Amino acid sequence: MDHLVYTAMSGAARTLEQQSVISNNLANVNTTGFRQQLSLYRAVPIVGQAGEHQTRASTLTTTPGSLMEQGAMAETGDPLDLAIAGKGWFAVQTPQGEAYTRAGDFMISPDNMLVTATGLPVLSEDDQPMEVPERGSLTFSPDGTVTALGAGDNAADIQVLGRIKLVNPDESALMHSDDGLFRLPDGQVAPADESVRVAQGFIEKSNVNPAEAMVGLIANARRFELQMKLIADASSNAERANGILSAGT
């Protein structure tokens, strides 16, 4: 069979992989703090026997990481909503260890812990889950310091609960996990960074551009159709050649 079939098949497979990444980005266009995933593929010459011309090329997928540009900040007025202004990440506790997120739509769990929207404990700067008073009113300072005023208390009874852990690791070292969180390699833990600032009553929206993602989906669909046509043409040419050879014998 013509080698063109295998070349086109490789391109079609890579196109489907990229389509999956773009589809996931589009599905998370309204996910708080979501970072757009990047997926690229490149041509790789096929090296044949010595003396043969390199007339064929295959494709390989490369995933350089995520787009780290900040998403738009939306005001919610909810005192438990936080958005990081500029660089930085929230630290959360997971069964696999410490992880990082830009999603600051926090809530209070039934056992009075500050948690993410998915129920993961938000860590304090001493790497412990943040516990809050029952029915307390929370205030977050720009540096992440948390104060609470219990139900029925007056201003003199304000409690300082500590400071949430805000980190600013090298973004090129962060790895995106299947759970949507980011982690450092080999279970490393980033130190707290006092320069990171937060805004209370805001959330950071996804940095996915819906129009750009839709254009990418359409372009990939057309590219896949072209590759399928190449495979069909190669198969048709092979059948004709076999027919000619059969007729000549």
Tokens at residue 159, please?
């409690």
88 and 141 assigned to the same domain = yes
78 and 170 assigned to the same domain = yes
| pLDDT score at 40 | 76
| pLDDT score at 39 | 79
Around Cβ 208, how many Cβ atoms within 10 Å? 22
Tokens at residue 81, please?
């909503």
92 and 115 assigned to the same domain = yes
214 and 152 assigned to the same domain = no
Domain that holds residue 225: 3-67+208-247
| pLDDT score at 63 | 61
| pLDDT score at 11 | 77
* Residues of the chain under the 50 pLDDT cut: 1
**N- to C-terminal Cα separation, the chain:** 20
| pLDDT score at 50 | 57
| pLDDT score at 188 | 94
| pLDDT score at 1 | 47
CA angle 146, 147, 152 (to 5 degrees): 145
DSSP 122: B
Cα–Cα distances (Å) from 189 to 75, 84, 139, in that order, read 31, 19, 27
User: What sign results for the dihedral spanned by CA atoms 80, 86, 91, 92?
Assistant: positive
Give the closest residue to 86 by CA, choosing from 201, 202, 184, 195.
195
185 and 93 assigned to the same domain = yes
